[in-house]
């Protein structure tokens, strides 16, 4: 039996890699094979003792010690209570540290610290101050690898709770909010780029089984990022209203007006929270223009011109912004911002044009699809002669909303709600039947243009 187990261990190590010195220990080799076989079939209770022997005596033997050890200890934590639960939780935290020590090439700093923080959080073993300390350190030291959505939320949420308790300044809340939301947008853009490459193949029915699996994973992860982004905005809540933003930025302006990162984040947040009527927005815009006359500065300049009634000057600034930017994803984001500005102004056709540019630059810009859907839905009374024709525009709006969720699953929740709302306002089956329009085409002579085919009954 031992000979068989030893042979199994040699085969296993040949695939996984091994520490030569510790491979000379036959007892470790035998127990490695034993716990691996048990762990593979999720018999974690039987795996614990042989795993513990290898982990204690031969911690450098094989990365499987840490891969399976994590599963074994998580099972222990889940099944125990009280002091035992805390004991195994601490053992799991130690496992993450030792993996970083002995198999650094298999992990990274942020991943390790996030794993430890989540054990503490899930088992209520740390307060807000401790959680924020760990996650803030991980984020600042290794932001590239800090991608766990749940950890990003806990990082920000613990800070807000500390602020509400009078232990952290509001400026720090905004700084971390900007950094975390930028991180979420960056990670989701990576995912939606991959989705955009696979959607045409899905529509053509030519996805391979591997591609189907990847697309499912991308969709799932993007949805999670979307939910986390929404939770972070909810957590920020009224802290980011103009009544808080303006005095805070006004107070720091003279000291910070030469800090390009601070200026760009301040003017960006004021723009996003629609605080552009305050004179401080103009001061921040001018400061950014002096420090960094980039594309986004011209977007804000156009916003001010639009508010002052200089529509042509505003459009000129918006187009200047697009011409200055070379990255298509950033061009898309700029075009989307311009579309929202024109939507607020009531210039629906211009808003749709810029939203379409946003889609052309980045087919994964789901927010642009949602904006167009809303423009269509709010034009129902202007786009038809009969009640049936007026309501038919909602089919077009629903189609755009559904597409938003397809190209960017992080928006799937709001996209599906919007689509359902629009679909409910479109002509019912009874209306289609009584009108005799089933299978026919409704054309729109208003600014929307185009047409929609009425569903067949």
Is residue 443 within a helix (H) or strand (E), and if so which, with residue range? strand 441-443
Residue 357 CB neighbours (<10 A) = 22
Q: What are the backbone angles phi and psi of residue 169, rounded to the nearest 5°?
A: -75, 155
Is residue 35 within a helix (H) or strand (E), and if so which, with residue range? helix 26-40
pLDDT band (50, 70, 90) for residue 9:
very low
Cα-based torsion angle of the residue sequence 192, 197, 200, 205 in order, rounded to the nearest 10 degrees: -100
Structure tokens at 251: 């107070």
Question: Is the pLDDT confidence value at 176 over 60?
Answer: yes
Separation CA 225–CA 222 (nearest Å): 5
Residue 22, pLDDT score: 58
Q: CB-based contacts of 358: which residues, under 8 Å, 6+ apart?
A: 332, 333, 335, 336, 339, 365, 367, 368
Taking only the tens place, the pLDDT of each residue in 378-420 is 999 999 889 999 999 999 999 999 999 999 999 999 999 999 9
Bigger pLDDT: 268 vs 117: 117
Residue 294, pLDDT score: 85
Residue 20, pLDDT score: 57
CB-based burial of residue 378 (10 Å sphere; 0-12 exposed, 13-18 middle, 19+ buried)? middle
Residue 296, pLDDT score: 86
Which of 6-10, 61-65, 381-385, 448-452 has the least mean pLDDT?
A: 6-10
Question: Is the pLDDT confidence value at 8 over 80?
Answer: no
Question: Is the pLDDT confidence value at 224 over 80?
Answer: yes
Question: What is the average pLDDT across 418-430?
Answer: 96
Taking only the tens place, the pLDDT of each residue in 364-377 is 999 999 999 999 99
Question: What is the average pLDDT across 439-457?
Answer: 92
Bigger pLDDT: 5 vs 280: 280
Residue 5, pLDDT score: 44
Question: Is the pLDDT confidence value at 261 over 80?
Answer: yes
Taking only the tens place, the pLDDT of each residue in 301-356 is 998 998 888 989 998 999 999 999 999 999 999 999 999 989 988 999 999 999 99
pLDDT band (50, 70, 90) for residue 448:
very high
Taking only the tens place, the pLDDT of each residue in 60-107 is 999 999 999 999 999 999 999 999 999 999 999 999 999 999 999 999
pLDDT band (50, 70, 90) for residue 136:
very high
Q: Collapse the DSSP code of 453 into the 3-class scheme (helix H, G, I; strand E, B; otherwise coil) and give the result.
A: strand
Question: What is the average pLDDT across 169-194?
Answer: 95
How confident is the prediction for the chain on average, in pLDDT? 92
Residue 385, pLDDT score: 87
**Share above pLDDT 70 across residues of the chain, in percent, rounded to a whole number:** 95
């Amino acid at each position: 039996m031992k000979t068989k187990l030893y042979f199994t261990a040699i085969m296993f190590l040949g695939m996984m890699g091994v520490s030569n010195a510790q491979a000379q220990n036959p007892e470790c080799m035998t127990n490695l094979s034993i716990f691996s076989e048990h762990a593979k079939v999720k018999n974690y209770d039987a795996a614990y003792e042989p795993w513990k022997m290898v982990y204690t005596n031969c911690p450098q033997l094989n990365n499987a010690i840490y891969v399976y050890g994590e599963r074994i200890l998580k099972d222990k934590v889940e099944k125990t209570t009280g002091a035992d639960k805390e004991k195994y939780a601490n053992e799991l935290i130690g496992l993450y540290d030792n993996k970083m020590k002995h198999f650094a090439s298999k992990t990274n700093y942020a991943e390790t610290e996030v794993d430890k923080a989540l054990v503490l959080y899930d088992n209520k073993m740390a307060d807000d101050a401790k959680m924020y300390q760990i996650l803030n350190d991980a984020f600042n030291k290794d932001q590239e690898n800090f991608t766990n959505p749940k950890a990003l939320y806990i990082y920000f949420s613990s800070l807000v709770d500390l602020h509400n308790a009078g232990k952290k300044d509001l400026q720090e809340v905004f700084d971390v909010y900007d950094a975390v939301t930028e991180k979420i947008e960056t990670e989701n853009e990576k995912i939606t780029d991959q989705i955009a490459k696979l959607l045409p193949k899905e529509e053509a029915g030519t996805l391979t089984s591997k591609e189907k699996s990847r697309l499912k994973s991308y969709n799932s992860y993007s949805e999670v990022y979307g939910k986390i982004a929404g939770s972070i905005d909810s957590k920020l809540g009224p802290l980011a209203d103009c009544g808080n933003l303006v005095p805070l930025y006004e107070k720091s302006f003279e000291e910070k007006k030469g800090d390009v990162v601070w200026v760009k984040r301040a003017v960006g947040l004021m723009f996003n929270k629609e605080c552009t009527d305050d004179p401080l927005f103009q001061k921040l815009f001018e400061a950014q223009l002096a420090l960094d006359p980039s594309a986004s500065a011209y977007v804000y300049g156009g916003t001010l011109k639009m508010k002052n009634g200089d529509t042509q000057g505003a459009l000129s600034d918006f187009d200047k912004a697009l011409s200055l930017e070379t990255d298509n994803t950033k061009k898309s984001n700029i075009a989307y911002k311009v579309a929202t500005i024109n939507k607020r102004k009531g210039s629906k056709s211009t808003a749709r044009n810029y939203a379409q540019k946003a889609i052309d630059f980045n087919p994964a810009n789901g927010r642009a699809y949602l904006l167009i859907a809303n423009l269509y839905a709010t034009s129902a009374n202007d786009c038809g002669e009969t009640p049936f024709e007026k309501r038919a525009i909602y089919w077009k709006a629903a189609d755009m909303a559904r597409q938003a969720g397809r190209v960017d699953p992080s928006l799937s929740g709001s996209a599906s709600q919007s689509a359902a709302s629009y679909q409910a306002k479109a002509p019912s089956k009874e209306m289609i039947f009584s009108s005799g329009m089933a299978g026919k085409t409704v054309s729109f002579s208003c600014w929307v243009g185009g047409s929609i085919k009425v569903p067949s009954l």
